[in-house]
Amino acid sequence: MAAIGLIAASAFLGATPALADETETEPPVVELVLDVSGSMKAADVEGGATRMAVAKQAFNEVVDSLPETTQLGIRVLGATYAGKNKRLGCQDTQQIVKVGTVNPVAAKNAIATLKPTGFTPIGLALREAAADLGDTGSVRRIVLITDGEDTCTPPDPCDVARELAAQGTELVIDTLGLAPDEKTRKQLVCISQATGGTYAAAQSEDELTDRIKQLVDRAALPPPVTPAAVTGAKDCAKAPLLAAGVYTDRELIGEHRYYRVAVDSGDELRASVSVALDRPLNRDYGVLIKAATMDGRELVRGVDASSGRADVISAGLRWSGDEEPDLSATSDICLEVSNSFASATAAGAPGMPVELSIGLAPASEAPDAPGLGRGLLLLFVLAIAGLVAGVLAGWLTRWWVAKWGVN
């Protein structure tokens, strides 16, 4: 969400300093998770091919085109158990290619043996895929390809995605729906949103191949900013003291979180907050950011700073130390972040992903506006001018009538 937060904050922050070091690009680390459940037998993809045949061909083309540096793994679900025992069928997920430099021949041979078979334990497969990738410290990507929704809840795949995102590791889940229906689309969108990933649908072999290639290539691109993890407090007195930068936190529905920033009298504080809407929410919600003194006196509250994305809501503020002459030369300002979210199904932990951007810059002088005294004086001058103009117009009219008469 770092890029979205920075875009949303641009009106308030200008160029926000990144906390991430500018290092060489890490090789892509990706695991493809393929649904091999019974529904993949359907022959309803463009051209009359089965969904499984299309997925296999797309995988083969992707494997052939991978850069040598790509670290790739392949995991399947629903590929081995053909029985009707749901307890057994919902444990059916295996890694058929370990994460590492790809051997194209071995990878394609493993894919060639797959046959549509069983249940669809998406939640479990995502959890296992995250474990396959490990915590390398770099961005890791899971690309989920499925034609249907999870048939093994619990665990619910959306909850699993939120749990993985809440662990603070750089893990993104992208989802691809192969000829998906509306219920499948909603679930795949939910999974991808929870980790800042993307959703796309594919109706043909070419579309599926192109989408997978794009997502694998994207794994090689580092995020523009790596936010620093921080935990807001329940009141200002215990709030963490933050420098200028970008931070990430999580906030429960209806919660208030507090942070502190030291602001010099000649500086201007510019702050914004962005919250990713990673779960279904009731209508009429919002996010608020406020700046206050440590004793709770409100200084300014934020205004909407939307990025234009429906799955992210943002607000931002500006405040200058010169606006409060009674404060000391350097004062701790309290930032309060709150929300008015409500959810009938997902109100508990983990909280909503929050990105807080903080900037400090020399205070900019705003042009003086007319004060109340100057406004009254201007009104008086206009009234006198109007009175004089009316008198002159009346005198000239009477003179004209007297001299020339009325025709």
Distance CA 244, CA 305 (A): 19
Mean pLDDT over residues 38-62, rounded? 86
- Please state the φ and ψ torsions of residue 390, each to the nearest 5 degrees: -65, -40
Distance CA 139, CA 102 (A): 18
Distance CA 295, CA 99 (A): 53
Count Cβ atoms below 10 Å from residue 161 Cβ, excluding itself: 29
Report the pLDDT value the prediction gives residue 200, as an integer from 0 to 100. 87
Report the pLDDT value the prediction gives residue 68, as an integer from 0 to 100. 77
Give the confidence band of 387 by pLDDT, cuts at 50, 70, 90: confident
Q: Under 8 Å CB-to-CB from 113, ≥6 apart: which residues? A: none
Whether residue 13 is predicted with pLDDT greater than 70 in this model: the reply is no
Whether residue 48 is predicted with pLDDT greater than 80 in this model: the reply is no
Pair 327, 321: CB distance under 8 Å: yes
Report the pLDDT value the prediction gives residue 240, as an integer from 0 to 100. 95
- Fold match between 22-218 and 228-362? no
Mean pLDDT over residues 329-355, rounded? 86
Q: 132 or 324: which carries more pLDDT confidence?
A: 132
Write down how long the chain is. 407
Distance CA 247, CA 224 (A): 13
Q: Where are the domains of the chain?
A: 22-218, 228-362
Whether residue 2 is predicted with pLDDT greater than 60 in this model: the reply is no
Locate 399 and state its tokens.
């003179």
Give residue-wise pLDDT tens across range 354-372. Answer: 999 998 877 655 544 444 4
Report the pLDDT value the prediction gives residue 324, as an integer from 0 to 100. 67
Q: Under 8 Å CB-to-CB from 274, ≥6 apart: which residues? A: 1, 4, 5, 8, 9, 307, 312, 313, 314, 354, 355, 357
Give residue-wise pLDDT tens across range 178-235. Answer: 888 889 998 998 898 888 888 888 888 888 888 888 887 776 666 556 788 899 999 9
Give the confidence band of 112 by pLDDT, cuts at 50, 70, 90: very high
Give the confidence band of 407 by pLDDT, cuts at 50, 70, 90: low
Give residue-wise pLDDT tens across range 237-277. Answer: 999 999 988 898 999 999 999 999 998 877 889 899 999 88
Q: Under 8 Å CB-to-CB from 350, ≥6 apart: which residues? A: 162, 163, 165, 166, 250
Mean pLDDT over residues 78-100, rounded? 94
Count Cβ atoms below 10 Å from residue 383 Cβ, excluding itself: 10
Whether residue 12 is predicted with pLDDT greater than 50 in this model: the reply is no
Q: 166 or 12: which carries more pLDDT confidence?
A: 166
- Looking at domain 228-362, its CATH architecture is Sandwich (2.60)
Locate 232 and state its tokens.
């807001």
Report the pLDDT value the prediction gives residue 152, as an integer from 0 to 100. 95
Give the confidence band of 78 by pLDDT, cuts at 50, 70, 90: very high
Sign of the four-CA dihedral 349, 152, 55, 81: positive
Pairing of the two strands 352-362 and 228-229:
unpaired
Mean pLDDT over residues 76-100, rounded? 94
Q: Under 8 Å CB-to-CB from 173, ≥6 apart: which residues? A: 126, 141, 142, 143, 144, 161, 164, 191, 192, 194, 195, 197
Report the pLDDT value the prediction gives residue 320, as an integer from 0 to 100. 83
Mean pLDDT over residues 298-325, rounded? 77
Distance CA 81, CA 93 (A): 9
Pairing of the two strands 352-362 and 245-251:
antiparallel
Whether residue 307 is predicted with pLDDT greater than 70 in this model: the reply is no
Sheet holding 267-276, edge to edge: 228-229, 245-251, 352-362, 267-276, 312-320, 303-304
Whether residue 8 is predicted with pLDDT greater than 70 in this model: the reply is no
For domain 22-218, give its CATH number from 3.40.50.410, 2.40.50.140, 3.90.1150.10, 3.40.50.720.
3.40.50.410
Whether residue 81 is predicted with pLDDT greater than 60 in this model: the reply is yes
Give residue-wise pLDDT tens across range 126-171. Answer: 999 999 998 766 678 899 999 999 999 999 999 999 899 888 667 8
For 209, half-sphere exposure in the C-beta direction (CA atoms, 13 angstrom radius) is: 16
Distance CA 268, CA 319 (A): 6
Locate 23 and state its tokens.
């290092």
Report the pLDDT value the prediction gives residue 14, as an integer from 0 to 100. 42
Question: CA of 184: how far to CAs of 22, 179, 216, in Å?
Answer: 39, 9, 22
